[in-house]
Amino acid sequence: MEDMLLNEEEKQIRDLCRRVVKEVPHELIRKIEREEVTFPREFIDFITKNGVVGLRFPKEYGGKGASWVAEASAVEEMGYLGFTLSCMYSLGTIVGEPMYRYGTNEQKEKYLKGITSGKLYGAEAITEPSGGSDLFGMMKTTAVKKGNKYILNGQKRFIVGGKGADFFVTYAITDPNAKSRTRGISAFIVDRDTPGLKVETLYGLMGNKGGGTARIVYKDAEVPEENLIGELNGGYEVFNRMMIPERLTTAAGSLGVSTAALKVATDYALKREAFGSKLIEHEGINFKLAESLTLLQSASALVYTAAKAADLYEKGQTTQSYARKLVSMAKLHSTEAMWKIVNDAMQIMGGIGYTTVYPIERLLRDSRLGLIWTGSSEVMKMIIQHEYLKEFTNPDYWESRRDIEKDALDFRLEEEKVFK
């Protein structure tokens, strides 16, 4: 990201994360690819020890009180390690957000401090076999109050970090008779050692190995009532707040993955010769680089604009709807850009890029998940148009603007404006 878009504090955080990323053992990445490591606790311990976890949270909870812009710059640096570790890093912010915004003092002391100190690692248990994109419409997991506990029954799948997480932020139906499903769901903290919780399937994935992606089964799982996050039946509000860091960090991590792919491809093009000159001197190659760089810069600009909007939302200077729209745009554009940039990096390198001699094939496999995870590209488009139409149909939005339709030569021919 251009230095001119970061203030001094944000630059310091970015530079700290860059130094930490540089020191992550290369052998750890290779072990993950060989599937010798299925959950990277070593990585989590390393980044925690170096003080880069939970940057967004106040210092009293072990964070740095950083901005969303600083958080985005940190995750972008982590993306240089690949999409898996970028996602694993981001989960600290993602699962910490509901505790910070809606949690009790006891929850913050135990779980938020647990995240920033490295004593606890949390995962989000959201997706179900019956519902991914249509989570709230298709949710089956229930939580029934019995005495001072909630009894959970159901399943969650594709849970990144599921194999090794110490606790799960999960959602369940608490009012099956609610007029709207979004009004009958609650959020809970479920500890790994909860009676009735079982980590079952560990999924085989095309890419993003090492994330411990698992299926979680709740069978009469007993969750203390003090582990309810926020208000009873207030899970939809918690979820929407949680989606800001989830999608913004996905967008930011995609920038790092794209930069890594371009670095490898550019190095290769500067050294490799074909038809009597370096690859970089061939128009077909240097035009691909130019296109990729332009795409990356546009994605970067949108990610940091969205991060700034999230900061303004925190201060009450813009609406959640506007921040949500920009974050969705950033997630959509940066993941789609990543997929194309990594593909083109492989194309620049030719056959050798398709081998494990270089990391491009890993970045390609990993990056495909970006278009699906934390809300597919199609879901992002649904959100974007939905939030835009809310703005568009608000008379105040257009009150100070020019009536452009009156610029038409025959704008007075109202009889020609037929809509039904």
Domain with residue 193: its CATH number is 2.40.110.10
Active site residue 33: no
Residues 371 and 276 in one domain: yes
Band (pLDDT 50/70/90 cuts) for residue 201 is confident
| Distance (Å, whole) CA 89 – CA 83 | 10
Residues 106 and 85 in one domain: yes
Residues 261 and 381 in one domain: yes
- 418 is a domain residue: no
Encode 259-305 in three state secondary structure.
HHHHHHHHHHHHHCEECCEEHHHCHHHHHHHHHHHHHHHHHHHHHHH
Band (pLDDT 50/70/90 cuts) for residue 179 is confident
The pLDDT of residue 348 is: 97
Q: Is the pTM of this model over 0.75?
A: yes
Lowest mean pLDDT among 14-18, 84-88, 176-180: 176-180
- Provide mean pLDDT across the span 95-107: 95
- Provide mean pLDDT across the span 348-377: 95
- Provide mean pLDDT across the span 57-61: 95
Residues 80 and 97 in one domain: yes
Residues 255 and 287 in one domain: yes
| Helix (H), strand (E) counts: the chain | 14, 10
The number of domains in the chain is 3
- Provide mean pLDDT across the span 278-287: 94
Residues 174 and 188 in one domain: yes
- Provide mean pLDDT across the span 306-314: 95
Residues 104 and 214 in one domain: no
User: Mean pLDDT in the chain?
Assistant: 94
Name the token pair of 182. Answer: 């979004």
Q: Which domain, by its residues, includes 134?
A: 124-233
- Provide mean pLDDT across the span 313-335: 95
- 398 is a domain residue: no
- 23 is a domain residue: yes
- Provide mean pLDDT across the span 324-330: 97
- Provide mean pLDDT across the span 278-282: 94
pLDDT for residue 363 is more than 80: yes
Residues 63 and 82 in one domain: yes
The pLDDT of residue 2 is: 62
How far apart, in Å, are the Cα atoms of 370 and each of 178, 292, 334?
Answer: 34, 17, 9
Containing H/E element for 252? helix 235-271
Residues 281 and 258 in one domain: yes
- Provide mean pLDDT across the span 316-335: 95
How far apart, in Å, are the Cα atoms of 140 and each of 127, 143, 173, 181?
Answer: 10, 10, 7, 11
The pLDDT of residue 385 is: 97
From the candidates 246, 314, 387, 416, which is the catalytic residue? 246
- Provide mean pLDDT across the span 51-67: 95
What's 111's DSSP letter?
Answer: I
| Distance (Å, whole) CA 233 – CA 190 | 17
Phi and psi at residue 173, in whole multiples of 5°? -75, 125
Buried b (16+ CB within 10 A) or exposed e, 273-294: eeeeeebbeeeebbebbeebee
